[in-house]
């Protein structure tokens, strides 16, 4: 039994490593879609194929999943200003504290990998790309086994760990900073990227040996199912909380000139032995904390945030991503995916207490909140 458990843990860790490589680009794109940015283009000098190991293309089919249930049970938005030391900013800002109940109703254990939270005046779900406001752009990157371009079949490429970056006019330009997890290798298959503006695809790009090339109208490829997107009106706060087992901090990065660029509202929680336990047992329910400070009127927020709070109503969209604790099998370069998403979209009513705007004030009156040492989990204790 002990050997089987050890093997299961080893398989799980191996699968997480594969998925982490696959998810780095998608998490990056998802977070950047919220901030209105897109990841960048980089150029590499390809080596001879014989000098490098070629990574095989991994096909994915659906496997068993642990479909989490989630619910925001408490929210507190607090207006701060420069006269209050807690703000640590020069202008008016907001602090927020969200309590999210995460339940695993399945008979499989599952590892929570990330939580994405958005609060805004209005959030609407739709099929297609995620948007922000009425004038927004973003992109979607993925890998395929191959693609036809100008009648020629491509199924091998030099991967350098980046996606195209565009300026506000839609021109492809070098990225403003290097991607910390950037790697380079030969890969079976191709990397693809589609750029969209206001939900309409305006360009398709393919990585051709380290250089992203515009192949709009020249490419034939099967597109993946992107699921549903959402549009946002008057963003108030947002946060991506990632649970990871490596000590990496991507909250800021420096370019080749030493200029520091901040990646907003991304929080990383250390997991693994001696750190936060992000494994949900079958039937387990726990409360996760989301909190931060966001400057009003900055690039990442909206100057109408106070008006939204004063209206007494706000819409929340929360998404979790997990992977089921399942035996890993890689057969003929094919793996069964066991990850799944859970999303809650709801409009809540806020009670105002001075500069505090609170949802479910009854919970605060009944319980005191105790936080773990990582500010990741919350425990409710009767007053």
pLDDT score, position 125: 83
Residues in the chain: 383
> Would you state the pLDDT for residue 189?
94
Q: Average pLDDT in the 237-251 region?
A: 75
Which of 17 and 316 is assigned the larger pLDDT?
316
pLDDT digits (tens, 9 = 90+) for 182-218: 568 899 999 999 998 877 889 999 999 889 999 999 9
Binning pLDDT at 50, 70 and 90, where does residue 161 land? Answer: confident
Threshold 0.95, pTM exceeds:
no
> Rounded mean pLDDT of 356-380?
96
Q: Of 3-12, 35-44, 164-173, 176-185, which gets the smallest average pLDDT?
A: 35-44
> Chain-wide mean pLDDT for the chain?
78
| Angle made by CA atoms 223, 229, 234, in degrees to the nearest 5 | 145
What pLDDT score does 92 carry?
Answer: 72
Instruction: Give 134's pLDDT tier (boundaries 50, 70, 90).
Output: low
pLDDT at 168 exceeding the cut of 90: no
């Amino acid at each position: 039994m002990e050997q089987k458990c050890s093997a299961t843990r080893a398989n799980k860790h191996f699968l997480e490593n594969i998925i982490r490589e696959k998810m780095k680009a998608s998490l990056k794109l998802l977070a950047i879609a919220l901030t209105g940015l897109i990841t960048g283009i980089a150029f590499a000098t390809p080596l001879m194929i014989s000098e490098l190991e070629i990574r095989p293309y991994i096909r994915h089919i659906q496997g068993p999943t642990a479909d989490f249930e989630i619910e925001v049970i408490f929210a507190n938005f607090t207006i701060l200003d420069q006269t209050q030391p807690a703000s640590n900013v020069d202008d008016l800002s907001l602090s927020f504290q969200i309590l999210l109940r995460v339940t695993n109703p399945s008979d499989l254990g599952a590892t929570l990998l990330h939580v994405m939270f958005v609060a805004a005046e209005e959030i609407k779900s739709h099929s297609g790309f995620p948007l922000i406001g009425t004038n927004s752009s973003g992109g979607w990157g993925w890998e395929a086994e191959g693609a036809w371009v100008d009648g020629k079949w491509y199924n091998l490429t030099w991967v350098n760990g980046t996606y195209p970056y565009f300026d506000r006019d839609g021109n492809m330009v070098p990225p403003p900073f290097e991607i910390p997890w950037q790697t380079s290798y030969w890969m079976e298959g191709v990397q693809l990227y589609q750029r969209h503006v206001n939900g309409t695809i305006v360009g398709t790009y393919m990585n051709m040996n380290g250089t992203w090339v515009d192949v709009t109208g020249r490419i034939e490829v099967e597109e993946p199912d992107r699921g549903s997107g959402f549009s946002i009106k008057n963003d108030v706060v947002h946060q991506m909380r990632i649970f990871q087992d490596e000590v990496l901090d991507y909250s800021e990065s420096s370019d080749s000139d030493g200029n520091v660029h901040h990646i907003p509202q991304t929080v990383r929680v250390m997991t693994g032995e001696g750190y936060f336990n992000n494994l949900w047992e079958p039937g387990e329910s726990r409360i996760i904390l989301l909190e931060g400070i966001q400057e009003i009127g900055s690039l990442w927020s909206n100057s109408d945030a106070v008006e939204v709070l004063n209206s007494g109503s706000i819409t929340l969209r929360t998404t979790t991503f997990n992977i089921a604790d399942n035996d890993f099998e890689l057969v003929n370069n094919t793996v069964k995916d066991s990850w799944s998403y859970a999303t809650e979209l709801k409009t809540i009513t806020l009670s105002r207490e001075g500069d505090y705007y609170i949802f479910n004030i009854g919970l605060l009156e009944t319980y005191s909140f105790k936080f773990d040492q990582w500010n990741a989990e919350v425990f409710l204790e009767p007053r």
